[in-house]
């Protein structure tokens, strides 16, 4: 797993500031390299976390119907431009043999995966695959909606544009009624 090297980040930020013509000794910028390094340490903390660890504790419950945690807020950094993207994730699964996880574990898995230089598509797939591997449910659906600053601040400059990705596994992929049911709950 990765270790964050704050001194390298600080030096890199100084170089970037110099490269854009800024005075790195200006009052407002003197501590900026240190602040950015500390921010990156927090924002990229998911590099050292395997989301599977959140599913080490599994409960046995007589429940084999839909479990959905929706509107989980997250933020991440686009690996192409190192600018933020943020939005909400919706995580659904149908337990098998009563194997359920604590509800907060679904949100923690989303957070761990999103706190890396990342692509939205990858967040969606990793969360779905992690749940399939650890809980072994009948099915999983993960839907992620996000606004990407690389589309808002630069390039096409389309503020408010949302990207939606989904990863569907097991019975939720094969059974169109179950698939539609999950989407109806997400959209309510």
pLDDT in tens, 64-79: 999 999 999 999 999 9
Q: How many domains does the chain have?
A: 2
Asked if residue 81 belongs to a domain, the reply is yes
Is 81 one of the annotated active-site residues of the chain? yes
Is 118 one of the annotated active-site residues of the chain? no
Statement to judge: residues 34 and 82 lie in one domain: no
Mean pLDDT of 47-65: 95
Q: What is the pLDDT of residues 5-38, one digit of tens each?
A: 999 999 999 999 999 999 999 999 999 999 999 9
Statement to judge: residues 30 and 62 lie in one domain: no
Statement to judge: residues 108 and 138 lie in one domain: yes
- Which of 1-15, 103-117, 120-134 comes out lowest in average pLDDT? 1-15
Asked if residue 1 belongs to a domain, the reply is no
pLDDT at 176 over 60: yes
Is 79 one of the annotated active-site residues of the chain? yes
Mean pLDDT of 35-53: 96
Mean pLDDT of all residues in the chain? 96
pLDDT at 1 over 70: no
Asked if residue 52 belongs to a domain, the reply is no
Whole-angstrom CA distances from 103 to 28, 86, 132, 159 are 43, 21, 15, 33
Statement to judge: residues 34 and 72 lie in one domain: no
pLDDT at 113 over 70: yes
- Catalytic residue of the set 11, 61, 79, 121: 79
Statement to judge: residues 71 and 111 lie in one domain: yes
Three-state DSSP at 64 gives coil
pLDDT at 3 over 90: no
Statement to judge: residues 111 and 173 lie in one domain: yes
Token pair 């200006």 is found at 26
**Predicted confidence band of residue 94 (pLDDT cuts 50, 70, 90):** very high
Asked if residue 89 belongs to a domain, the reply is yes
Statement to judge: residues 37 and 64 lie in one domain: no
Containing structural domain, residue 173:
58-187
- Catalytic residue of the set 90, 111, 118, 148: 148
Is 78 one of the annotated active-site residues of the chain? yes
pLDDT at 158 over 90: no
Longest dimension (CA), the chain: 64
Compute φ and ψ for 145, nearest 5 degrees: -120, 130
Statement to judge: residues 10 and 97 lie in one domain: no
Spell out the residues 6+ positions from residue 132 whose beta carbon is closer than 8 angstroms to its own.
140, 169, 170
**Predicted confidence band of residue 2 (pLDDT cuts 50, 70, 90):** low
Statement to judge: residues 153 and 179 lie in one domain: yes
């Amino acid at each position: 797993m990765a270790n964050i090297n704050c001194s390298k980040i600080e030096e890199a930020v100084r170089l970037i500031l110099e490269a854009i013509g800024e005075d790195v000794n200006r009052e407002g910028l003197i501590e900026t390299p240190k602040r950015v390094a500390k921010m990156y340490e927090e924002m990229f903390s998911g590099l050292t976390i395997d989301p599977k660890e959140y599913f080490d504790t599994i409960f046995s419950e007589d429940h084999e119907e839909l479990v959905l945690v929706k509107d989980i807020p997250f933020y991440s950094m686009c690996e192409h431009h190192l600018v933020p993207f943020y939005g909400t994730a919706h995580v659904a699964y149908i337990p098998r043999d009563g194997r359920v996880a604590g509800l907060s574990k679904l949100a923690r898995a989303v957070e761990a995966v999103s706190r890396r230089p990342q692509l939205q598509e990858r967040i969606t797939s990793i969360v779905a695959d992690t749940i399939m591997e650890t809980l072994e449910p009948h099915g999983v659906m993960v839907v992620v909606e996000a606004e990407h600053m690389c589309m808002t601040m630069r390039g096409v400059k389309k503020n408010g544009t949302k990207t939606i990705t989904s990863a569907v596994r097991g019975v939720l992929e094969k059974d169109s009624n179950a698939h539609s049911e999950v989407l109806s709950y997400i959209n309510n």
